[in-house]
Amino acid sequence: MAQVTVTIANHVYRVACGDGEEAHLRGLARQLDQRIEKLKSDFGEIGDQRLTIMAAITVADELAEARRRIAELEVEVVNLNSKETNLASEQDEWADKLADTLGEAAARIERLAGNLNGVSRG
C-alpha cells in the first residue's frame, strides 16, 4: 500500500492509498484544497473546521446531484432502448405487411399474365 503526503488548508496529511493511485489522490487533495481556499476568499477566516465542513458539504451536494443526474440518464437509456425495441418490432411488422402485399401483387400479376397468355392463344 502506497503512502502519499498531501496538503489541505495548510495542513500536511499522510494518507494511504492503493499502489498506482498516488497521482489521483494528490489531485483529489488539490481539488479539496482549492475549494477550501475559494471558500476562504469568499467568507474570510471563519475557522479551518468550518471551511472544511463547508467544502465537504459542497462536494457531497455535487455528488448527490451527479447521482441524481445519472439515475435520470439511466431511465432515459432504458426508455430509448424500449423505443428502439418498439421501432424494430414495428419495422418487422411493416416488412411482413410489405412482403404479404408484394406476394399478393405477384400472384395477381401471374394471374393476369396467365389470362393474357390464354387470350393471346385463343
Helix%, strand%, coil% for the chain, nearest 5: 80, 10, 10
The per-residue pLDDT for range 66-97, each reduced to its tens digit, is 999 999 999 999 999 888 888 888 888 888 88
Q: What is the dihedral of CA 18, 21, 22, 23, to 10 degrees?
A: 180
Instruction: Name the residue range of residue 26's domain.
Output: 2-121
Are β-strands 11-17 and 2-8 bridged in parallel, bridged antiparallel, or unpaired? antiparallel
Given a cut of 70, is residue 61 above it in pLDDT? Answer: yes
Q: What confidence category does residue 100 fall into, taking pLDDT thresholds of 50, 70 and 90?
A: confident
pLDDT of residue 91: 87
In the chain, the number of structural domains is 1
Q: Are 47 and 36 in contact (CB under 8 A)?
A: no
User: How far is Cα 78 from Cα 86, in angstroms, rounded to an integer?
Assistant: 12
pTM score, whole prediction:
0.61
Given a cut of 90, is residue 3 above it in pLDDT? Answer: yes
